[in-house]
Amino acid sequence: MSLLSELIWATGLPQPELMRIITTAPSRYKVYQIPKRTGGWREIAHPARELKALQRLMLNKYLINFPVHQSAMAYVKGRNIGDNAAIHTDSNFFLKLDFERFFPNIKVKDWIRFLKNNNFQPFLSDEIPITSQILFWGSGHRKPQCLSIGAPTSPILSNILLYDLDVELSAHAQAMGVRYSRYADDITISGQTIDQIIAFESLVRQRIRHLASPKLKFNDSKRGVYGRSVKRMVTGLVVTPAGAVSIGRDRKRAISSLVHRFSLGQLDQDQLGYLKGMLGFAKANEPEFLDRLRAKYGDAVIDAATKLHLPPRNRKD
């Protein structure tokens, strides 16, 4: 079945209506800005409901079948930030690098080039423009330009298009005796000596400079080198001097305080939702801390907090 026939069958839309949506898809985004935690603003381009439905169809029918490298730790079922941090727990030194404007710098031409050069090709040549229309945001233009922060397909597309880079850098890391992982735009390199990771960083930077597709660059203001004498963070988690992964002392204090206030009935709805989320975060990344909370506050309190049923928030379609 052709891609177009598959989309017609899955959506139940008449072909003229479907083609109208596809033709105008790069413009069917709600664009807004949210504040960054470190200052400044992040532009979000959220696909309209009918476009998001097509993107989810593309994701579940086609994109999930593309290979993603084992060093890519974000947006992959069965992998999380804890797994990413665990890769580096036995290292003495960490280096963190961050890509600048990661999604916007992945262009539609990178997708087209990838499909034409890759042996894994689920689409016919005349279907590639349809996929480009559906998957890439116009960024103020009528034609597709780049990935958007907000589309459900952007995360997996970034992993697909960086597969070859991940393969190459992982092989070099193994040969040089260092650890490499990538969590979306965040690269972590670790090793036993500072010389090891600096040498590997030089290789990585050279490779990125000469990378034909996608054209990426690092945000050097976010570069950081960390040894055992300082707090070592990997994708929001702390790697302790003993080589364990922890959610961090500050988070534990905040969660414990919220649990105490929850036991007294002092939390509003937003705080209840935040507490439930943070307890899930703790369970996934440091379950021993949850055990200590149970010992302190009792199973009944923790079970009640983790099983809260809260009214759904308004969602952007």
Percent of the chain with pLDDT over 70: 97
The pLDDT value given to residue 235: 79
pLDDT in tens, 86-134: 999 889 999 999 999 999 999 999 999 999 988 767 898 899 999 999 9
Confidence of residue 20 (pLDDT cuts 50, 70, 90): very high
Question: How far apart are the C-alpha atoms of 195 and 192, rounded to whole Å?
Answer: 9
Question: How far apart are the C-alpha atoms of 249 and 237, rounded to whole Å?
Answer: 10
The pLDDT value given to residue 313: 59
pLDDT in tens, 229-265: 777 878 788 888 777 889 999 999 999 999 999 999 9
Confidence of residue 316 (pLDDT cuts 50, 70, 90): very low
What does the pLDDT average to over 32-44?
A: 88
What does the pLDDT average to over 66-76?
A: 94
Query: Does the pLDDT value for residue 308 go beyond 50?
Result: yes
Question: How far apart are the C-alpha atoms of 149 and 157, rounded to whole Å?
Answer: 12
Dihedral, CA of residue 87, residue 71, residue 217 and residue 95, to nearest 10: 10
The pLDDT value given to residue 314: 52
What does the pLDDT average to over 266-288?
A: 91
Global pTM reads: 0.83
The pLDDT value given to residue 121: 73
Question: How far apart are the C-alpha atoms of 148 and 185, rounded to whole Å?
Answer: 14
What does the pLDDT average to over 290-316?
A: 83
Confidence of residue 315 (pLDDT cuts 50, 70, 90): very low
What does the pLDDT average to over 288-304?
A: 93
The pLDDT value given to residue 312: 64
What does the pLDDT average to over 174-179?
A: 97
| Cβ contacts of 73 within 8 Å, gap of 6 or more | 79, 80, 81, 83, 84, 87, 181, 182, 183, 235
Any idea where the domains of the chain sit in the sequence? 3-226, 247-307
Alpha helices (H) in the chain, listed in sequence order: 3-11, 15-23, 49-61, 81-86, 108-117, 128-135, 154-161, 163-176, 194-209, 249-263, 269-285, 287-297, 299-306
Quote the mean pLDDT of the chain.
92
